[in-house]
Amino acid sequence: MTESAILQKRSLAELFSRLIAAGHRLLAPVRRDQQVGFEPVSSPQEVATDWVQTTRPAKSVVFPRYEEILRYRFAGKDVEVEEPRPSAPSTVLFGVRPCDAASFAVLKAVFTWDSPDVYFEPKLAATTIIGLSCTKADPYCFCTSVGGGPGDTRGSDILLTPLDDERYLAEILTERGRMIAELAPGLFTPADAVSKERVLAQVPARFNGQDLAARLGRLFDRTEIWLEQSLRCLGCGACAFVCPTCSCFDIQDERDRQGGLRLRCWDSCGFSLFTLHASGHNPRSVQSERWRQRVMHKFSYQPERLGLLGCVGCGRCSRACPVDMNLAEHVQSLAEISG
């Protein structure tokens, strides 16, 4: 149903106010100190410019860093349990990079493959994504190695590509995107045959993630590879906390004298406690096994189990790594060894 239109950059202010007037919460990349992240905005002036990638992805809109799954009050020896009503405000995400837009499909696959998820699904259903193609990339970007691209439309409801200083090409991709466009029909004017390719960033493919997925399992027992790649890994988990597709979580209780909360919180397979048994036995007892798990999960297990790669090539893990481990470099090397 793709429909191409031209949206003038100066019309964004009006689009924003129509979205807000229609009751949507509008989140867009905002610069704060050294970081760019998604925050509520009401005008285009607040939106950060000149960034390659937001510091953290928009994942927390559908999968918050921590989220109440139960609330309870102590009443003598009894407990009154309250099931929180999941909050899912209608949200428009503006300025989502194509890699991040693609990440929502991975999250959805994990949270819904077997049973519904009462916390995740309403949020996803209430989210509309206005993507923004990349006209710049940095050496950490590798979307083209994992099936994406700087102008990839997957996951976006509308994808904007800045054609020049004044105009966006607006690709209206879904019914949801059309509903957004119809809030301001005058702003979207028919586009002639416009090619976005010339303005897109160049991101050379370093490996073929799809091909690798079929071969990577063979390297499981090659301990020396995983050891060498992970020698400097600190197990800090920063990679997982900035990852748009990491979805592993912990469940923890927090209490005071009156009652408490049961929280679903982000976790990381890089932590040794992640798999530690009560007996002291740990199935992944050393960091190289945890690194292998991270790579295997994204590039072998998820493709086999859920039918899609668990990585969108945003490069955040490598930008955030305090010891400069580079996922793309390591996976490229695995692709070469297994090839």
Partner 1 sequence: MSRPNPYVPYRMRIAKVTEEAPGVKTFRLEFADPEQGQNFTFKAGQFGEYSVYGEGECTFCIASPPTRRGYIECTFRQAGRVTSALADRDEGDLIGFRGPYGNTFPIEQWEGKKLLFIAGGIALPPMRCVIWNVLDLRDRYGDVTIIYGARTVADLVYKHELAEWGTRSDVRLYVTVDPGGETPDWKGRVGFVPTILEQVAPSAENTIAIVCGPPIMIKLTMPVLGKLGFSPELIYTTLENRMKCGVGKCGRCNVGKYFVCKDGPVFTLAQLNQLPPEY
Does residue 230 interact with partner 1 by CB under 8 A?
Answer: no
Does residue 156 interact with partner 1 by CB under 8 A?
Answer: no
Q: Which residue's structure tokens are 């994942």?
A: 59
Query: Residue 196 or 264: which CB sits closer to partner 1?
Result: 264
Task: Tell me the two tokens of residue 284.
Answer: 């992944």
Task: Report d(CA 71, CA 80) in Å as an integer.
Answer: 8
Does residue 113 interact with partner 1 by CB under 8 A?
Answer: yes
Does residue 253 interact with partner 1 by CB under 8 A?
Answer: yes
Does residue 222 interact with partner 1 by CB under 8 A?
Answer: no
Does residue 252 interact with partner 1 by CB under 8 A?
Answer: yes
- Largest Cα separation within the chain, whole Å, is 71
Does residue 159 interact with partner 1 by CB under 8 A?
Answer: no
Instruction: Tell me, by CB under 8 A, how many residues bind partner 1.
Output: 48
Q: Are 85 and 118 in contact (CB under 8 A)?
A: no
First-to-last CA distance in the chain? 38
In what side-by-side order are the strands of the sheet with 3-8? 35-40, 25-32, 91-96, 127-132, 158-162, 167-172, 3-8, 188-190
Q: How many residues belong to the chain?
A: 339
Does residue 249 interact with partner 1 by CB under 8 A?
Answer: yes
321 vs 105, 125, 134, 312, CA distance in Å? 25, 32, 23, 17
Does residue 125 interact with partner 1 by CB under 8 A?
Answer: no
Give which of 194, 284, 180 is closest to 230, Cα–Cα: 284
Does residue 66 interact with partner 1 by CB under 8 A?
Answer: no
- Binders of partner 1 among residues 280 to 319 (CB under 8 A) are 281, 283-284, 289, 293, 296-297, 300-301, 304-305
Find the binder of partner 1 among 18, 31, 176, 262 (CB under 8 A): 262
Find the binder of partner 1 among 50, 114, 164, 224 (CB under 8 A): 114
Binding residues (CB under 8 A) for partner 1: these are 69-70, 72, 74, 77-79, 81, 83, 110-111, 113-115, 117-118, 220, 247-253, 255, 259-260, 262, 264, 267, 269, 274-279, 281, 283-284, 289, 293, 296-297, 300-301, 304-305
